[in-house]
Amino acid sequence: MTRRALTVVLVAAATIGGALVSATPAAAQPPDAVSGPTAPEDDVVYRHPVEGPVVDGFRPPAKPWLPGNRGLEYATFPGEAVTAAADGLVIFAGPVAGTLHVTILHDDGLRTSYSFLASVDVNEGRHLTAGAVVGRAARRVHFGVRDPAGSYLDPGNIVGRQPVLRAELASHDDEAVAAAAAAARRREERSTLSRLVGAAGTTGSWVGDRVADGMDVGIEAGRMMVERYVWTVARPVVAIRAWADLGAALTSAVLSPPDCTPVSIRPAPPEGQRVAVLVPGLNAPADGGPITDLDVAALGFAPVDVVRFSYNGGRILETDTAGENWFDPLPATANSPEATRRSVADSSTHLANLLDDIRRLRPEATIEIYGFSIGGMVAVSAIGQMTTWEVPASVRLVTIASPHRGLTPARTLERIGAIPGISGLDGFMGVPVGSPIVADLASGTRASLPPDVPMLSIGSIGDPLVPAVRTVFEGAETVTVGSGGLFEHDGLVGGEGTSREISLFLAGRPPACRSLIHRVGAVVVPRLIAGAHDMVSVAGAVDGLVPG
């Protein structure tokens, strides 16, 4: 599909709405669907740390370094109290890789963790009773349980089960199914809107009257948007998970983050030695393409401190530097669009070798990696190989429009490519069917980062190729900015908003403060685009995928 054709489809999709899905509670799964060790039996009684619904259940990874969910993830409102699941001793309370966490040791030897908090209200060494407040929620709260050996357990085995909202497609040919779906829709609307209104009361004391007024506007906007683009589609399929996620996200958007940086603040670049490594995106030409539009000067880099990665190995030869430079010993090759279509695993090996060479030449410097599109996926995988280095380097990572959560059209191409005799056809994002990179675009980023590497992931509100909801990476700070146009992808790199968010990230400051319209738009528009991807994709019809 060409970019022009996809744009037309997206505009049409934004007019008629997206596909809907139904949800099945996790309790309905067969017993063997829940894996992990069994919690030791004792008299300790555990409870859920928050009242919100579970939106992602326990999914232990196949290997320790692969992605998964080692606990339960709850939909919460900013400022909502997060409480101790049982009596215990606080053994950790503080930041890890830029996010706040609390760990409690209980009398039966189990340890519970409360992650990705907006604030922490306890100190190490404090004894807590069940229900004591350990901190305040940001957007979602992750609750984990480990046994004395450090193995992760399914928290549902010790606190009892809540419905885990999972997407499935239901047949829409039966009138009885249609009636049931309509009834479920009405129940969800009443339940979710009641929770949204309740949130305005419980959080009003700390967000103020002005934000409370914005809450009313946001709730109404969210209700109208969902009714028009979701529930009016004549398909008796109920998007319970999508509705729950959208409701929580809209509420968070209306309330705004607990902390944000005013536009008047312009942080200075970090001090000390720094090297920027630019990792191009898919189909990048010889010079690296859009990633070279990054305003490295505004980020505090001199031209001599910037290295462009070549997918053929080493660096892209610099033409605007004269004399002897520190990077001269680095191997240099000509980048090519064909080379960017190799698998992420192959490309990440080349990048890891380049990073290791840079570390040896500049051992005192912090290496800052800026990856665009698949370049961000390659960077994550390459950084994961640093554990084999004799002397670890100081590394920061920024990814821009990187599909960490995979792309539905790529899943369609992957299935088409499996048909004998079909290959070489021009597909999504200009990737020929059968290219090795297709499988990586379909699955998203499968590697994980070392816990001490800070990461920022930037998406664009109107990106038609990589919706912002697909740029989310677990454990990373994620922001959505406005691009140069409604359907802009390449232009995101050079945008002023992108440069500012990177500057704030490097300075350790919260994201920039946004208007209410921007925050609501950052929730609604990317989900509509992702829904359009699903509508025009065979994979979306077959797998019943839900945006975000």
Rg over CA atoms, the chain: 24
- The pairing of strands 274-279 and 306-308 is parallel
Q: Identify the three-state secondary structure at position 413.
A: helix
Per-residue pLDDT of the chain (548 residues; tens, 9 = 90+): 444 444 433 434 343 333 323 333 333 333 333 333 344 444 788 999 998 778 778 887 766 555 667 888 888 877 888 999 999 999 999 887 678 899 999 988 899 999 989 889 999 889 999 889 999 988 789 999 998 888 888 888 888 544 333 333 434 444 444 454 454 444 444 444 444 444 444 443 333 433 344 444 444 444 444 444 333 333 333 344 455 566 666 776 666 566 789 988 889 999 999 999 999 999 999 999 999 999 999 999 999 999 999 999 999 987 666 678 899 999 999 999 999 999 999 999 999 999 999 999 999 999 999 999 999 999 999 998 876 665 556 899 999 999 999 988 887 776 665 555 555 455 556 677 778 888 889 889 988 888 888 999 999 998 988 999 999 998 889 999 985 555 578 889 999 999 999 999 999 999 998 888 888 888 888 888 888 887 765 433 333 333 33
User: Same structural domain for residues 251 and 329?
Assistant: no
Domain end, chosen from 164, 182, 214, is at 164
CATH of the domain at 88: 2.70.70.10
User: Same structural domain for residues 189 and 215?
Assistant: yes
Domain end, chosen from 164, 185, 207, is at 164
User: Same structural domain for residues 113 and 145?
Assistant: yes
Q: Identify the three-state secondary structure at position 74.
A: strand
525 is a domain residue: yes
How many CB atoms are closer than 10 A to CB 216?
13
- The pairing of strands 167-168 and 22-23 is antiparallel
Cα separation, 17 vs 20, whole angstroms: 9
User: Same structural domain for residues 369 and 476?
Assistant: yes
Question: DSSP secondary structure string, 118-143?
Answer: EEE---TT-EE-TT-EEEEEEEEEEE
Query: CA–CA distance from 532 to each of 5, 518, 526 (Å)?
Result: 12, 21, 10
Question: DSSP secondary structure string, 382-409?
Answer: HHGGGGG-SSPPPEEEEEES--TT--HH
User: Same structural domain for residues 365 and 480?
Assistant: yes
Cα separation, 250 vs 468, whole angstroms: 15
Question: DSSP secondary structure string, 431-468?
Answer: PBTT-THHHHHHH-------TT--EEEEEETT-SSS-G
Domain end, chosen from 124, 143, 164, is at 164
11 is a domain residue: no
CATH of the domain at 397: 3.40.50.1820
User: Same structural domain for residues 490 and 504?
Assistant: yes
User: Same structural domain for residues 297 and 341?
Assistant: yes
State which residues form the domain around 415. Answer: 408-443
Structural domain tally of the chain?
4
Cα separation, 410 vs 543, whole angstroms: 13
User: Same structural domain for residues 468 and 488?
Assistant: yes
User: Same structural domain for residues 295 and 353?
Assistant: yes
Q: Determine which helix (DSSP H) or strand (DSSP E) holds 223, and give its type and residue range.
A: helix 175-226
332 is a domain residue: yes
Contact residues for 3 (Cβ-Cβ < 8 A; gap 6+): 429, 430, 464, 465
Q: Residue written as tokens 């050079």?
A: 494
13 is a domain residue: no
Cα separation, 379 vs 542, whole angstroms: 31
User: Same structural domain for residues 430 and 478?
Assistant: no
User: Same structural domain for residues 230 and 355?
Assistant: no
268 is a domain residue: no
Axis crossing angle, helix 516-535 with helix 408-417, rounded to the nearest 10: 20
User: Same structural domain for residues 78 and 116?
Assistant: yes
